[in-house]
Amino acid sequence: METEGAVGSIDAEEGKGASATASDDSGDVILSGSVQAGKKSLLLALTTNGVTVHEVQAGEKVKDSSLNLDLPWCEVITAETSGEGGKSKFSIHFMQYQKDRKLRHKSLTLTSQDIEPRKWADAIQTQCQQVSGRPKNLFVIINPIGGNGKGSQMYHKSVAPMFKLAGCQTTVVETEKSKHALEIGETRDFTGFDGIISVGGDGLYQEILQGYLVQLQKAAGVNLNDIDEEFVKPKIPFCLIPAGSSNGIVRYTNDNVRDAETSALRVIRGETHPTSIITIHEPGKFIGISGLAVGVGAMTDFMKRCDELRWMGKSRYGYGMLRMFVKKKRRFRMQMEYLLDGEPSPIVKTEGAQGDTESLEIKTGWHQHDIDDKPYVGATLSTFSVKDMPECTVIDPFSCSGDLMVDTGCSNMGIIKYALMFEGKKINGPIPNIEFIKGAVGVRFKVIQDPSETDENVSQARAREREMEHYLYVDGEVVQMEGLEVEARLKNDFVSMFGCIASQLRTPQNAS
């Protein structure tokens, strides 16, 4: 078996591994009987709900046996026969949660006297094939230089064996140059795939997402340059396997876990949730799509500097952060307006009596952000919402509402607190000079430059600042604008993502 070495297994002799207990509501029985795991006797039942295993001693069920299992079908990966002529044993492959919320592949090898191993394995495989949302054909894109440059190696070692075991076919493509994923997204025919798996960081996901969405809009005749056009939603769900530097989206969509095997098993589990995207436009011109956040100011400067220091590897982020702490942050003037969720449609166009476009009536729900003519340091619209829980902070990408964060001169301590908040730490009280506008679904930034300044009559440092006013931060990358004005709109419930609701946010209704 190709996965050997990468798998965990339940050792019947030592009784390690599984710890789940069987529930009473097990569904209708498909197949049940006595099986052996080494010297232990077990009762195995395949029901319409899943697989239950009970250790039995002297005809009695052992209550707290580490071999007891109660697995829904979505957590059973497959079954296979082995031994002489494939007839003497069968193994059940499944996924199991660890205490640290990671998912791990486990297997339980059993022998059976009454029912042929092949019959058990066939019945399990049949049920696995019917798991709702489990993909059969995946498109995998790998950034071989993302993070510490081990994406490809990691994929083939920890992820590919899981997909193979689950019977998912894969088409694997490695990017060969910067922005290659964007090109692939725009040109590749994705017909027949039921999952797009991005092995890299947030930047790779942003590129494949944008490329694919652009392809879809062009095919549907959507005018990308018109911000008010309704975008066509993708039907194929996405998944990120962490192989980048920060891997924010992976963590937020995986219950605070950044782990390749967990992400792969989540794909096999088949659970998806809708996430939002942000469309970004200069006046009359499409700039791009964000899957995480778009902003101006300090974050842009930080990312641009880190990008210029890419040769330093992952340590560029630490160095960039230190540099940001000691240097004075760029301040700039801008007009900022924002839209809030649940308010009337931002722009309602009502055609005039004669159908002439001149008499369009435009109602807007835009709110002017007012900071008494003070300069800004940064502002970011995110596709997720920051939830303040009693013990921690949770970033919720499945909230279908965004947040607008405005920085008007936060201290270094404030930045540290802000960063800790994204790591899930509880922050007591507000962070001075950081404002959160909850439920923001749109923002307009218009940077105001001093007309008396030109690149010729200012210092080199100021000229660089003026140049940076033309840059945006998009999902960990920097994007240059032609002008100084940009509009970003959140499109809720837009892209399906393999993952799970953060455990702190689970309710009986959304429990998974």
Task: Give the residue nearest to ligand ATP (CB).
Answer: 201
Residue 55 or 207 with smaller CB distance to ligand ATP: 207
Q: With CA atoms as reference, report the closest residue to 8 among 239, 155, 162, 150.
A: 162
Q: How far is the CB of 392 from ligand ATP (least distance, A)?
A: 22
Residues 6+ apart with CB under 8 A from 263: 159, 239, 240, 241, 242, 250, 254, 498
Q: How far apart are CA 512 and CA 253, in angstroms?
A: 13
**Is residue 201 close enough to count as binding ligand ATP by CB under 6 A?**
yes
Q: Residue 499 is which amino acid?
A: G
Q: Is 244 in the site for ligand ATP (CB under 6 A)?
A: yes
Least distance in angstroms from the C-beta of 139 to ligand ATP: 16
Per CB under 6 A, which region of 196-204, 333-341, 392-400, 434-442 contacts ligand ATP?
Answer: 196-204
**HEC-encoded secondary structure of 299-354:** HHHHHHHHHHCHHHCCHHHHHHHHHHHHCCCCCEEEEEEEEECCCCCCEEEECCCC
d(CA 423, CA 273): 22
295 near ligand ATP, rule: CB under 6 A: no
SS3 call for 60: strand
Residue with Cβ nearer ligand ATP (131 or 181): 181
Residue with smaller CB distance to ligand ATP, 186 or 229: 186
Q: Least CB distance from residue 201 to ligand ATP, whole Å?
A: 2
User: Of 68, 247, 276, 300, which one interacts with ligand ATP (CB under 6 A)?
Assistant: 247
Q: How far is the CB of 179 from ligand ATP (least distance, A)?
A: 5
Work out whether the CA dihedral 410, 411, 417, 422 comes out positive or negative. Answer: positive
102, 106, 180, 304: residue in contact with ligand ATP (rule CB under 6 A) = 180
**Residue count, binding to ligand ATP (CB under 6 A):** 23
| 42 vs 52: CA distance, rounded Å | 10
Going by C-alpha positions, the residue among 369, 349, 353 that lies closest to residue 361 is 349
Q: Give the one residue of 158, 246, 276, 380 binding ligand ATP; rule: CB under 6 A.
A: 246
Please enumerate in sequence order all residues whose Cβ is within 8 A of that of 63, keeping only pairs 6 or more positions apart, or say none.
21
- Helix count (H) and strand count (E) of the chain? 11, 27
Which window, 153-161, 195-203, 332-340, 491-499, contacts ligand ATP (CB under 6 A)?
Answer: 195-203
Is 369 a binder of ligand ATP (CB under 6 A)?
no
Q: Which of residues 128-147 bind ligand ATP (CB under 6 A)?
A: 143-147
Does 245 participate in binding ligand ATP (rule CB under 6 A)?
yes
C-alpha of 237 from chain center: 11
Measured N-to-C along each axis, helices 298-308 and 460-468 cross at an angle, to the nearest 10 degrees, of 110
174 within 8 A of 229, measured Cβ to Cβ: no
Least separation in angstroms between residue 378's CB and ligand ATP is 18
Burial class (CB in 10 A: 0-12, 13-18, 19+), 2: exposed
Question: Residues 17, 135, 185, 203: which binds ligand ATP (CB under 6 A)?
Answer: 203
Compute the least distance from the CB of residue 182 to ligand ATP, in Å. Answer: 7
Residue placing its CB nearer to ligand ATP in the complex, 52 or 175: 175
- x-marked contacts with ligand ATP along 80-119 as a string, rule CB under 6 A: ----------------------------------------
Q: Which of residues 257-276 bind ligand ATP (CB under 6 A)?
A: none
Least CB distance from residue 236 to ligand ATP, whole Å? 19
Interface pattern 160-179 for ligand ATP (x via CB under 6 A): ---------------xxxxx
Within 417-476, the residues that bind ligand ATP by CB under 6 A are: 476
**Maximal C-alpha separation, the chain:** 92
- Give the shortest CB-316-to-ligand ATP separation in angstroms: 9
104: β partners:
96
Task: List interacting residues with ligand ATP (CB under 6 A).
Answer: 143-147, 175-180, 200-204, 207, 244-247, 476-477
